[in-house]
Structure 1
Amino acid sequence: MRRWASTVVAIALGLGALGCGQTTTEREAPVTIKGTPPARGEAGTAAPRGTNVRIWVVTHGQASSAFWAIVRNGVDAAARQVDADVTYRAPDVYSLQTMVALIDQAVAAHPDGLVVSLPEAGLAPTIRRAVAAGIPVVTINSGSDMYAKLGVLAHVGQPEDVAGYKSGRRLAAAGVRRAVCVNLKIVNVGLDARCAGLARAMREAGGRSTMIRIDDVAATAPGRIARAVRAAHADGVLACNAVSGLATVQALRGTQGVTAATFDLGPDVLAAVKRGRLAFAVDQQGYLQGYLPVVLLAERARYGLFPAQGEVIPTGPNFVTARTAGQAIALARRSIR
């Protein structure tokens, strides 16, 4: 699997240089990105392409989310590099009904490819309809345990149960035996899988874990986490996204003997890792979740090429520690990591 992921990244990077967050309401107008074609005769240039490839991207991430800004950045870079017209849509506030409507709009537009995030099983019938309509579909982000039943070409993302398990193993190696998993109030199958993986790692280490659900942007989030840590007599905390990770740092201020870590990056998260307030942060490489499917679908539309159909293309987990945080901070400020 690692060999396959490396191959896909190498192919994508050969086409050009490389370039779950908040739920704040922010209205975002549909955006179409049109790439600039390379000059005729430039290295790697294909034969004349004619009509541009049209790709739709539908995600459940709001415009104000730092994580989804990274995904969007990858989408934009790929669109420019492969000269594709990309329409990006996301709900103002997540709901299943809105996601279904956005995917149906994409299908009605008859694009050459559709990229869609898969936060819950309720989207399965809509995605199957897109596949049945003859549209090549790649799922991204959450849903590595569901995509195979939907008929999509591939899934680009982090296998979340594996990521939770490996995070739990790291915490266990640091001495944690009573962990709290900080999940979000809005149910997401990927985040649930992270907590399940942590629980499995704790059991193997002879410990236990407790899951709590919070509104990560609420002012009450740090207090909720602090109370859960005390109630569980916890010696470790794993937060499921960057926002709840920062809330965990605030909750544990002045507390001794508790090791904390988080999923997802950002300048503030990386600063906390560098200072040792977080033991590590899990990088699922959201940039690649936006970048790779656009590149792959564009090349499929033009040349009929698509590697390893039906596979997961894993973008994580990658672990950032105090030793490596400095390398990632500048890229986080550019919405690449």
Structure 2
Amino acid sequence: MKKKVLLVVMALILVLSLINIATAKEQKHFTGIRITFFPGGNPGGPFASVVYRGARAAEKDLGCKVDYVWSGWNPDKMIAQFKDAVARRPDGICIMGHPGVAAFAPLVDEAEKKGIIVTSQNTSLPPIEEKYKSRGFGYVGQELYPSGVTLAKGAAQRAHLRRGDRVMVWGLLGQETRGLRTKGCVDTLKKMGMKVDYIEISDAVNGDATLGTPVFTGYVSSHPDVKLIIIDHGALTATAETYMRASRRRPGSIYIAGFDLSAATVDAIKKGYVGVILDQQPYLQGYLPILQVCLTKKYGFSGLHIDTGAALIDKTNIDFVAPLAKQGIR
């Protein structure tokens, strides 16, 4: 008799556990919504991996199903992949805006006609955002040109530059929209009276920061008087210590400024190889676009425009955010 009672109790416990599991699943607000998400770079990259973690956290928290598409920061590849995503007809697509308005506009029109919600992160597409804001097209990321201005001013001040000093900006002016951040850096330094050299980040270096070593060392050896180098790329900023060591330069002998936090960048700041970075909080650029699509799909909310890039981080405040960078959150 006791065995029968025990078996009944165990069966009830099992049934209740299954009910609790089912209820927990039912409590996810956005179960059943399908989203295609672009983290931007390559799996494991210092910036794209943080974006990915944010998106994965949103997927887990909200209950939606997300497919991730990696592009190696290649705008042409992003366009081809977007076309493929539209053909699969998900509920929403979260895009990186690097290819620019001209390339994306007709494709977003097509997606919207098919009832697909589109929103953006990292690189804004203002005319498209304005056109489809009421249908959920938002933006999560830095304001590009102002971010460049902010970093250039902060770096010049910290490096104690004087009018006529030589500086170099290594960036992406060749990309229609993404290049606005580079332009903000260049314009600001020129207005301050600096002698500005500019190097475009090649497609190869854009996809693999280690390939930038000979570019950096070659420039530094031919311009030994350079006082400041601004690197407009998160993965390249994370590789700055490697570049400096390869150039046989001591920490701080050239003031390096860049963008985005990573474990490598934290170490470089602490060692003095990197002076200051602007943190655009890529985790939010992963989490919030997923939430945007879910809110629009279920409740019809319009697009939200969220600026994530405002904080300058240097040796005076790195200790606060360093543990979060190690975890891949900042």
Q: Settle same-fold status: TM greater than 0.5.
A: yes
Q: CA deviation at 1:137?
A: 1.0
Structure 2 equivalent of residue 303 of structure 1? 299
| Partner-residue secondary structure (3-state), 1:128 | helix
CA distance in 1, matches of 2:189, 2:124: 23
Instruction: Pick the aligned partner of 2:92 from 109, 113, 129.
Output: 113
Structure 2 equivalent of residue 21 of structure 1? none
Paired residues of 2:172 and 2:182 also in contact (CA < 8 A): no
Structure 1 equivalent of residue 152 of structure 2? 168
Tell me, yes or no, if structure 1 residue 199 matches structure 2 residue 190.
no
CA distance in 2, matches of 1:202, 1:66: 27
Q: CA deviation at 1:249?
A: 3.5
| Partner-residue secondary structure (3-state), 1:281 | strand
TM-score for both structures, normalised by structure 2? 0.77
| Partner-residue secondary structure (3-state), 2:197 | strand
Q: CA deviation at 1:93?
A: 7.7
| Partner-residue secondary structure (3-state), 1:39 | helix
CA distance in 2, matches of 1:220, 1:69: 20
Structure 2 equivalent of residue 324 of structure 1? 317
Paired residues of 2:93 and 2:119 also in contact (CA < 8 A): yes
Report 1:49-64 matches (<5 A): 52-64=32-44
Aligned length: 292
Structure 1 equivalent of residue 260 of structure 2? 264
Larger radius of gyration: 2
CA distance in 1, matches of 2:321, 2:244: 19
CA distance in 1, matches of 2:299, 2:209: 48
Q: CA deviation at 1:159?
A: 1.4
Report the identity percentage.
Answer: 24
CA deviation string 1:156-194 (max 9, x = no partner)? 111121111111111222323432111269x54455222
Instruction: Pick the aligned partner of 1:133 from 101, 105, 114.
Output: 114
Structure 2 equivalent of residue 4 of structure 1? none
Change (3 A) 1:132 1:242: same
Structure 1 portions without partners, runs of 5+: 1-35
Q: CA deviation at 1:329?
A: 2.2
CA distance in 2, matches of 1:93, 1:172: 28
Structure 2 equivalent of residue 233 of structure 1? 225
Paired residues of 2:55 and 2:287 also in contact (CA < 8 A): yes
CA distance in 2, matches of 1:200, 1:221: 24
Structure 2 equivalent of residue 249 of structure 1? 244
Q: CA deviation at 1:65?
A: 1.4
Change (3 A) 1:146 1:90: farther
| Partner-residue secondary structure (3-state), 2:24 | coil
Report 1:265-304 matches (<5 A): 265-304=261-300
Paired residues of 1:164 and 1:194 also in contact (CA < 8 A): yes
What amino acid does structure 1 have at the position aligned with 2:234?
Answer: A
Q: CA deviation at 1:130?
A: 1.5
Change (3 A) 1:191 1:263: farther
**After TM superposition, where is structure 1 displaced by more than 6 Å over at least 4 residues in a row?**
none
| Partner-residue secondary structure (3-state), 2:79 | helix
What amino acid does structure 1 have at the position aligned with 2:167?
Answer: A
Paired residues of 2:91 and 2:297 also in contact (CA < 8 A): yes
Structure 2 portions without partners, runs of 5+: 1-20
What amino acid does structure 2 have at the position aligned with 1:324?
Answer: N
Report 1:2-13 matches (<5 A): none
More helix by percentage: 2
CA distance in 1, matches of 2:316, 2:251: 23
What amino acid does structure 1 have at the position aligned with 2:78?
Answer: M
